[in-house]
Structure 1
Amino acid sequence: MNFKKNLIFILSALFLTACATPPPKNPDNICEIFYEHRDWYSASKDMKEKWGTPIHVPLAMMYQESSFKHNAAPPMEYFWFIPIGRASDAYGYAQAKTMTWSDYKRETGNSWADRDDFADAIDFMGWFTNKTQKINGVSKWDAYAQYLNYHEGWGGYKKKSYNKKPWLIKVSRKVDNRSKQYAAQLRGCQENLDSSWLWRLFFA
């Protein structure tokens, strides 16, 4: 009986791994990302309509956090050669921590949300950026300050903890630059994405 249960578990794990969405081939171009993963565009549009956050901001943040890998996690830490755990419990596309993810699920009622599901992850980031605006007055269009909040938390941002982390300020500027790059690219392909998205909605 145990053998059968173990076999089912292994086969299920292999099936889920095989079905996992691969990272986009060209993550430097938001148009290519959405052409390759059409459902990601639909989920991103839903996020924008729900939370008012422009698509290019959380996408740039997600690139930095996980490189669009569904099962991304902090690296394993070792004592000599013995693994002792990861630096944090962050996981998934958005690298959301367990406690913050639980807050998101409770506040939104999205109790079945999974961190390794893109639609749930992008919605989480919309929720987070929306709360960042309410708590710390940061514009949803400001990828630089939004990322500082995302990394340091709302309390840490208020205390300006990032001032002691020059490497984080550098990374946040990188996120901001990528966000602006994504915004420019999206302006050039959004009409095409919208028309093909509507076509699939009614005729696919």
Structure 2
Amino acid sequence: MKKLILATMVVAFVASCGGGSKAPRNLDNACSIVRQQPKILRAMKKTERKWNIPVHVQMAIVYQESKFVHDARTPVKYVLGVLPMGRQSSAYGYAQALDGTWKEYQRAEGGRGAKRTSIQDATDFMGWYMTKTNEVTGIPLHDARNQYLAYHEGRTGYLRGSYKSKSWLVRVADEVASRSIMYQIQLANCR
């Protein structure tokens, strides 16, 4: 009986230690997010200083991509509804960066130690990516809607207009733009 109790306690302890940071509560309130996790605001302000991407734009895209979950992944695909066939893509972390794009960023900016689960590295990645998007497409850095479309479709897809046939994606991009404005107003009034 003692062994069972001890084993249960060890499992409970190990389970309580895992999982890393949790997503902030009340994701509709930028002030609440940064109060709960000040590291998010510090990372985004650093990215804003380095890449000129406004904090509210970063926040809206991170919300859309991962809901501020550090180790977010795309859903698993199933064949015949039951056989798992891997994930929908290699997107991972706060910014949902794909493996290939993340490696490109690491070579260009982040170094091999950069991690997609680090808010500092994820926001720096977003700044790097969105700055390159601005250079290639001319999309302003404060344009959350079109930056998101290019982020989702890739720069080439954006320039080809691949999003135009995806009404759901255009709706999501409009939501990102609205959330960006909401976060901007809220951040201006945070104490």
Q: In 1, are the aligned partners of 2:93 and 2:116 still within 8 Å (CA)? A: yes
The answer to whether residue 61 in structure 2 is matched with residue 61 in structure 1 is yes
Aligned to 2:22: 22
Q: Quick one: structure 1 residues 139 and 164, their matched pair in 2 at CA, closer, same or farther if it must change by over 3 Å?
A: same
**What does 1:46-195 correspond to in 2, within 5 Å?**
46-80=46-80, 81-189=82-190, 192=191
Deviation at 1:79, TM superposition (A): 1.3
Shift of 1:73: 0.8
Cα distance in 1, alignment partners of residues 163 and 109 from structure 2? 29
Report the TM-score, using the length of structure 1 for normalisation: 0.83
Q: What amino acid maps onto 2:151 in structure 1?
A: Y
Using the TM superposition, name which of 80-89 and 165-174 deviates more.
80-89
Counterpart CA distance in 2 for 1:52 and 1:34 is 19
Q: 1:109 to 1:69 in 2, by over 3 A?
A: closer
* Residue aligned with 1:139, SS: coil
The Cα of 1:34 is off from its aligned counterpart by 0.5
* SS of residue in 2 equivalent to 1:92: coil
Give the distance between the partners of 2:45 and 2:134, measured in 1 at CA: 19
Between the aligned partners of 2:95 and 2:34, the Cα distance in structure 1 is 17
Q: Provide Cα deviations, 1:39-90, integer angstroms capped at 9, x if missing partner.
A: 1111111110010110000110110111111111111011121111111100
Q: Match of 1:7? A: none
| More moved, 108-117 vs 166-175 | 108-117
Shift of 1:110: 2.7
Decide which moves more: 79-88 or 143-152: 79-88
Distance 1:107 1:133 in 2: 17
Alpha-carbon separation, structure 2, partners of 1:19 and 1:49: 30
Aligned residues: 178
In 1, distance between residues paired with 2:105 and 2:95?
A: 13
C-alpha displacement at 1:109, in angstroms? Answer: 4.1
Give the gaps of 5 or more residues in structure 1: 1-10, 193-204
Deviates more, 1:104-113 or 1:61-70: 104-113
- TM-score between the two structures when normalised by the length of structure 2: 0.89
Rounded Cα–Cα distance in structure 1 between residues aligned with 2:58 and 2:161 = 21
Identity %: 42
Find the aligned partners of 2:65 and 2:17 in 1 and give their Cα distance. 21
Aligned partners of 1:17, 1:131: CA distance in 2, in Å? 38
Q: Secondary structure of 2:86's partner?
A: strand
**Structure 2 SS opposite 1:125:** helix
2: CA distance between counterparts of 1:106 and 1:117?
17
Unaligned 5+ segments in structure 2 are 1-10
